[in-house]
A and B are shown apart, each in its own frame.
Chain A
């Protein structure tokens, strides 16, 4: 039976990657393709973020624009009390706009590891999505089978001198370049938090997980859930969207 399973894997692998030798699969390529598919060249989306705690829960709706790996703008649309608050990210820099005081605040570097809007996502998670790709060395660790797909487990350790906070990130990626999970480990290789992606659907000719759930390790019934209501991928978006001038609107 065991042999049969292995044989099955080999056959499936042979069909899926008829031209690619599995052993030659490169961790970097997999991660690069995955993040490219996740972000596209540019995107416009609307999403709900639910922060769940044992005693309470709160949902915020927002609209997000992204362009390439480095630029994004997120604007809160509901609840009314928070409407108009916006976060602009360009490269490693982040600005926050609050309509009530009509001020733009640049986030200091020391604040980047703080929680973003009280969620389980940190400012870093938002600002440095491309950092996973560039600041880490990726090694394909394991290939497993799940629901007829092969799933790659990639261990990413920071390059020397890379300005990152994690000791290791583990990515679980499906063979069609869909991110299934991302685990964040500290320097002692203890799991700190983990994100799982689900509700994989087809958008503009590519696959996208519509539901992202981030949970701290060891915390029961505490998580942040991001659910995409709508997303469309574009060739590009005008630069003006990602300017401080537009942050105010």
Chain B
């Protein structure tokens, strides 16, 4: 075996240019896979964090069934108790209470159906990007009463501006008529039409009074420090809620709150995977080609080795060792380079001149950051390793069919 390894190593460097090119192709594929996968995952993380910051949060505590139809009566009766549990869990960045009702918003002659959301302005500032996208007027302050924030499209539809009155008419938690007049303090534009068209935010205290909520809320929304910890936090929270006898409440994470986002990520991932498979196939064929060429070129040499007493099995081992040497060297080199490049951009970010405006709307800077993980680091190179090994099998096995005399002739 030892002698075969030495022979394989020498054979690899007998044609340094060909071997170098093959390794470079493999290395390049690995580098690309590591970087692209990391970039894709990083992009998802950015997307998810942006989406949860617009509205839903990473986690929510709601009454059972509320997520399905947002029925007024399904409330978190004692949000302070939930808050107490939340403050004992590590990894939670911030949390806030919200209440929501479908209502009419009217400016006198024009009326639209809207979602009226009661918020805690001070806490919400840290959680939601809406405070960053107030385009006219200002965000609500902590002790504000009787003020409202409205979406830009709604403001346009209602033909009102900052300082104008908006009448809200809906139904209270007890079924009574809920009505209030609020003064528009700020107009926000998230860039998401649905939100800009039908959202009115008022202070939670106003909401609780107008909609007969007492101390109850509809959602306790939480932001985690890290996206990867969300599942664990949700589990811990469920457990501590069960222990403290909080019944009728459920913990929902962002995948349950934003099923549409999960779907679009899956779609994107699938199309990305198809692209990577094509890339790997191209690499595989180029390697197959190289090895086949090598075998044809060296037919005489193999014939001679066989005439000197080498068994076909030994030749196959030799050839496989050669190809494995090339792929392993290529993969290791490519992966290392990929990791280095990814790490560089992970700390510096990649600027997208075109996407800046779009990202700003979500309250993000114009830079995207790849995110290196075990999966994105090893999935691609391992696949390349596997595919190249398989494609090297064919030429190696072909050698067994050689007849020494014909080969040397």
Contacts and interface: CB of A to CB of B under 8 A. Distances in A.
Interface of A: 51, 55-56, 58, 76, 79, 81-82, 85, 96, 98, 100-101, 103, 105-108, 110-111, 114, 117-118
Given A105-B167, A105-B169, A118-B171, A110 B177 contact: no
A139 B104 CA distance: 38
Contacts of B167: 101, 103, 105
B179 interface: yes
Contact of A114 (B73, B106, B113): B113
A185 to B, nearest CB: 22
> What is the interface of chain B mostly: helix, strand, loop, or mixed?
strand
B402 to A, nearest CB: 71
A101 to B, nearest CB: 5
Given A108-B113, A114-B113, A103 B175 contact: no
B360 interface: no
Interface of B: 73, 104, 106, 108-113, 167, 169, 171, 174-177, 179-181
Contact of A82 (B112, B169, B176): B176
A58 B175 contact: yes
27 contacts: A51-B175, A58-B174, A76-B177, A81-B177, A96-B104, A98-B177, A100-B177, A101-B167, A101-B169, A101-B180, A101-B181, A103-B106, A103-B169, A105-B104, A105-B106, A106-B109, A107-B104, A107-B111, A108-B104, A108-B110, A108-B111, A108-B113, A111-B104, A111-B113, A114-B113, A117-B177, A118-B175
A153 B174 CA distance: 38
B177 A82 contact: yes
Tell which of B108, B167, B169, B177 has the most Cβ of chain A within 10 Å. Answer: B177
Contacts of B169: 96, 98, 101, 103, 105
A118 B176 CA distance: 9
B177 A85 contact: yes
A108 B181 CA distance: 18
Closest 9 CB pairs of A and B: A98-B179, A105-B106, A58-B175, A101-B179, A103-B167, A101-B181, A85-B177, A108-B111, A81-B176
Contacts of A118: 171, 175
A58 B173 CA distance: 12
Given A103-B169, A105-B111, 16 more contacts: A58-B174, A58-B175, A82-B176, A82-B177, A98-B177, A100-B179, A101-B167, A103-B106, A103-B179, A103-B181, A105-B104, A105-B167, A106-B106, A111-B104, A111-B113, A118-B171
Contacts of B108: 103
Given A81-B176, A101-B181, A56 B73 contact: yes
Contacts of A98: 169, 177, 179
A98 B110 CA distance: 16
A108 B177 contact: no
B350 to A, nearest CB: 43
Contacts of A103: 106, 108, 167, 169, 179, 181
B219 to A, nearest CB: 20
Contacts of B181: 101, 103
Contacts of B177: 76, 81-82, 85, 98, 100, 117
B107 to A, nearest CB: 10
Nearest to A95: B111
A115 to B, nearest CB: 9
Contacts of A76: 177
Contacts of A58: 174-175
Contacts of B179: 98, 100-101, 103
A58 B172 CA distance: 12
A108 B112 contact: yes
A55 B64 CA distance: 14
A81 B212 CA distance: 11
A61 B175 CA distance: 13
A98 B171 CA distance: 12
Nearest to A80: B176
A162 B109 CA distance: 26
A82 B177 CA distance: 6
B335 to A, nearest CB: 56
Nearest to A57: B175
B248 to A, nearest CB: 11
A101 B180 CA distance: 6
A98 B111 CA distance: 14
Nearest to A84: B177
B339 to A, nearest CB: 54
B154 to A, nearest CB: 13
B330 to A, nearest CB: 60
A81 B113 CA distance: 23
A91 B155 CA distance: 29
A197 to B, nearest CB: 24
Contact of B111 (A81, A101, A106): A106
A107 B173 CA distance: 21
Contacts of A117: 171, 175, 177
Contacts of B174: 58
A51 B177 CA distance: 14
Contacts of A106: 106, 109, 111
B181 to A, nearest CB: 5
Contacts of A55: 73
A98 B104 CA distance: 12
Contacts of A110: 112-113
